[in-house]
Structure formats: structure tokens, C-alpha cells
Amino acid sequence: MAYALEDFCADTRTALKSKPLIDALPQIAAHLSRLLANPAFVAGAFNDSMEPGKRELYHDAELDFYVLAHVQAGGKVGRPHSHGASWAVYGNARASTDMTEWRRVNPETDDHLEIVATSKYSLTPGQTRAYGPGVMHSTAHAQTAWVIRVTGTDLDRMPRYRFSKKDKILESA
């Protein structure tokens, strides 16, 4: 029997309840990779006629984690951001996501961010990556991509770093 969304959600619940977050996140990423290997799951979560955007596949009311399906438009380059006190796990179902991780290099008391790129890599179909609380990163999609993102809460409701025009990237991305 193929590994399904219900299996993934149950395994995510178990990991979050039984381990410290730093240990649970790599397990969740591994489970997501297994889920993305199920063609029936991918076909049920996405189709070629879907417009760019996100939709909720699952929300765990007790632990407040979400499983979201994102259709990312080709040519899109996201600005650096973090998930604040929460976390996220990304996984690609189609095409690739170019990821850049960032580190702040100026004092937190400054009213702007100065950041440098610390790591650059691509997530291709079936690959996943976990981002713990406060980890700054950005995404880019050369072509339309199908991405599953698992988050520790509704990220639209919480404060987090977002890069603005007054901020400064100290290394070209």
C-alpha cells in the first residue's frame, strides 16, 4: 500500500509529540519525501490546470501544523524571509525550487536587515528540506513548480522577518 497523506500526517503528529523539534523536523522531511514518491498523492494534490497559489490539504487542530500544496509560477523569485518562531518543511513534486539560506550580519537592534547568503541549492522532485524557527531563506522558480510545504502554524498570522526595500543584501544572490 502506498504511503498516503493520512500516513504522513499521522507520522508528523507522532514525531512532533515524541521528539524535540530539532529531531522531529528531519523526520518530517524524510516522511514528506516518501509522500512525494507516491504518484497518486501528487496527482490528487496537483493538476496541470491549477493556477499559481496555495491550498490547504490538511490542518491538525491539536498541534496546529498545516500541509499546503503550492503551485509556484515560473520566473518567480521570492524575497528573503523567516517563519518567525515557527518552522516549515518544503518538498518538490514537480520542477525545482532554488533555495538560498541567509544569515543576518548586523545587530538585531538596527532597524534594518543586512544579510549574506550562506547556502544555495536546488530542491528537485522528491527532495525535501526542513527550516527551523528563525531560519531566513528565499525561493526561486525558473519554471512552474509544484511544492508541498508543511508549516508549524498559519504563517500568515505571525510576525517574521521579511526583507524590504530599505534592507541590504551584502552578497548578490
pLDDT at 82 (0 to 100): 84
- 66 and 151 in contact (C-beta within 8 Å)? yes
pLDDT at 170 (0 to 100): 56
pLDDT at 165 (0 to 100): 59
157-169 pLDDT, tens per residue?
766 556 665 666 5
pLDDT at 173 (0 to 100): 36
pLDDT at 167 (0 to 100): 63
Question: How far is it, in rounded angstroms, from Cα 21 to Cα 19?
Answer: 6
DSSP class of residue 162?
A: B
pTM: 0.90
DSSP helix/strand/coil, 76: strand
- 64 and 79 in contact (C-beta within 8 Å)? no
Question: How far is it, in rounded angstroms, from Cα 148 to Cα 75?
Answer: 18
pLDDT at 59 (0 to 100): 98
The burial class, CB within 10 Å (0-12 / 13-18 / 19+), for 147 is buried
The residue count of the chain comes to: 173
pLDDT at 80 (0 to 100): 87
DSSP class of residue 40?
A: H
Name the stretches of the chain with pLDDT < 50.
171-173
- 71 and 127 in contact (C-beta within 8 Å)? no
Cα-based torsion angle of the residue sequence 147, 46, 60, 9 in order, rounded to the nearest 10 degrees: -80
Sorted by where each starts, the structural domains of the chain and their CATH numbers stand as 5-169 (2.60.120.10)
44-63 pLDDT, tens per residue?
999 999 999 999 999 999 99
Question: Strands 136-141, 76-77: parallel, antiparallel or unpaired by DSSP?
Answer: antiparallel
